[in-house]
Amino acid sequence: MKNIIISTIIAGALIVGSVMFSYSYTNSSASITKAADNVSISGDEQFITINTKGSRFLPEITIAQANMKTALTVITDGTFGCKATLVIPAINYRNNLPPFGETAIQIPPQQAGAVIYGVCGMGAHNFSIDFN
């Protein structure tokens, strides 16, 4: 009887543990690919922050407001290689990012439905800003 109670407790703990693990895993992967908390609005301008991390720009997808001036800040932290070159074709932007620091990029107001892509110097490692 005692063994049954103990194994029930262990099984219950395993189920709770795996549910908690998958919940936190889902949460963290969601914040990598998509985040709204990297956009803030002050007055008639919105501010977007994108980080370079590993071989990616994060978040990969940003949802922003249409018809509004946009100040994009790209934060680099030990960034090197092709990713140190940022290209945003829609606004004819091409620049070498500093290894460490913040790079300010102005994006003019975009129509609803517009998507602006940022790519590395090789044309890979995309991020997008979706305006709606």
**Alpha carbon 128 to chain centroid, angstroms:** 9
Shorter beta-carbon distance to Cu ion: residue 79 or 110: 79
- Least separation in angstroms between CB 79 and Cu ion: 11
Q: Which of 24, 99, 122, 126 binds Cu ion (CB under 5 A)?
A: 122
Measured CA distances, 22 to 14, 26, 29, 73, 105 (Å): 12, 6, 10, 32, 37
Q: Is 86 in the site for Cu ion (CB under 5 A)?
A: no
Q: Is 82 in the site for Cu ion (CB under 5 A)?
A: yes
Pair 51, 57: CB distance under 8 Å = yes
Q: Is 120 in the site for Cu ion (CB under 5 A)?
A: yes
Residues that bind Cu ion (CB under 5 A): 82, 120, 122, 124-125
